[in-house]
Amino acid sequence: MRQPSARSFDPTEHPHRRRNLLNGEWVLVSPHRTKRPWQGQVERPPQENLPSHDPQCYLCPGNERAGGFSNPAYDSTFVFTNDFAALLADSPAQEISQGRFFQAEAETGTCRVICFSPHHDLTLARMEGADIRRVVDVWAEQVTELGGRPEISYVQLFENRGAMMGSSNPHPHGQVWANRRIPTEPALEDREQRLYYERHNSPLLLDYLHAELEAGERIVLESREWVVLVPYWAVWPFETLVLPRAPITHFPAMTDAQRDDLADTLKQLLIRYDNLFETSFPYSMGWHGQPTDGGQYPHWQLHAHFYPPLLRSATVRKFMVGYELLATPQRDITAEQAAQRLRQQSEVHYLTAGS
């Protein structure tokens, strides 16, 4: 192997790899590429002037859904079983095996939709704190209910925000998928957290948080109970990790104070996202907590991932293609640069800053 140059290494200028502590994978950081010109895809900005109620929206109160069912006239959150669920509770449960090269397993479960608000024109960033707190409670209720079923091993809470991240409807909503087996990403995180705990007798993410707080350069915002940071190994340009300061293995274990503070922390983070490029920021986010299969998980620490695709502006996004698909994930701006830009954003939403 050719030896690297003797020049002094600068992580803000020179390519390097960073290891993801949670899944064991690597990301290539190429900060010098931020200087390249862009002549690629330019996205259309999302529509900002949505109505409070859209009679054509299948998630609005009182409307008929795509599956033929009608929504009640709900005035807060509303949860229903997805009319086109990816997982079915009544699928055949027998194991499937087709030999050495063609392996498959039956998978069962259920999928639900969580309408965050009856108002079609809102996002979590623009909802009142009390209404976001209600969403937090619903997340906990769903994990408690579905995770308490003996046939469910993992409950995944997530939200796809914006058409750029695959959302088929602008109405504020998220989803919950409950699986018979632990899915791939949580299983990888379980492995890495378990290995660390066996070596150090301490949860990985708690120790990591302490190190990040000491370093300070990737912190986006702090509250009494929660910290938002750009992880050292971030793949998406403005990816963030939401971590509790105290040991919490899963969503239902949160205290009232932690839930109140989380609602406020989420609002502050999402306002910063929107203010960055003055647009309704697209993202995929999800909560990872301990599996619900009855095992022992003292090594787990609850956390949320935010994966936003925007790179340079409201219309230029990061594409995961080519090298990312065939070799390893790659990013241009460093995690430290991304955290600084988010940290500098106002806590007042740009749509209301002038009023």
> If 0-12 CB within 10 Å is exposed, 13-18 middle and 19+ buried, where does residue 183 land?
middle
Q: Do domains 17-28+183-343 and 78-179 have the same CATH topology?
A: yes
CA–CA separation, 96 vs 106, rounded Å? Answer: 6
| Beta carbons within 10 angstroms of residue 201's beta carbon | 9
Predicted pLDDT of residue 93: 61
pLDDT in tens, the chain (355 residues): 555 555 677 777 789 999 999 999 999 999 877 555 544 565 566 667 899 999 999 999 999 998 889 999 999 999 999 999 999 988 776 667 777 888 888 899 999 999 999 999 999 999 999 999 999 999 999 999 999 999 999 999 999 999 888 898 999 999 999 999 999 999 999 999 999 999 999 999 999 999 999 999 999 999 999 999 999 999 999 999 999 999 999 999 999 999 999 999 999 999 999 999 999 999 999 999 999 999 999 999 999 999 999 998 888 888 888 999 999 999 989 999 999 999 999 999 999 876 6
- CATH architecture, range 17-28+183-343: 2-Layer Sandwich (3.30)
Contact 203, 179 (CB under 8 A): no
Q: Where are the domains of the chain?
A: 17-28+183-343, 78-179
- 53 a catalytic residue: no
Instruction: Count the neighbouring beta carbons within 10 Å of the beta carbon of residue 315.
Output: 15
- Selecting among 171, 173, 250, 299, the annotated active-site residue is 173
pTM: predicted TM-score of the whole model, two decimal places: 0.93
pLDDT of residue 177: 98
Under CATH, what is the fold of the domain 78-179? HIT family, subunit A (3.30.428)
DSSP SS3 for 16: strand
The pLDDT score that the predictor gives to residue 115 is 98
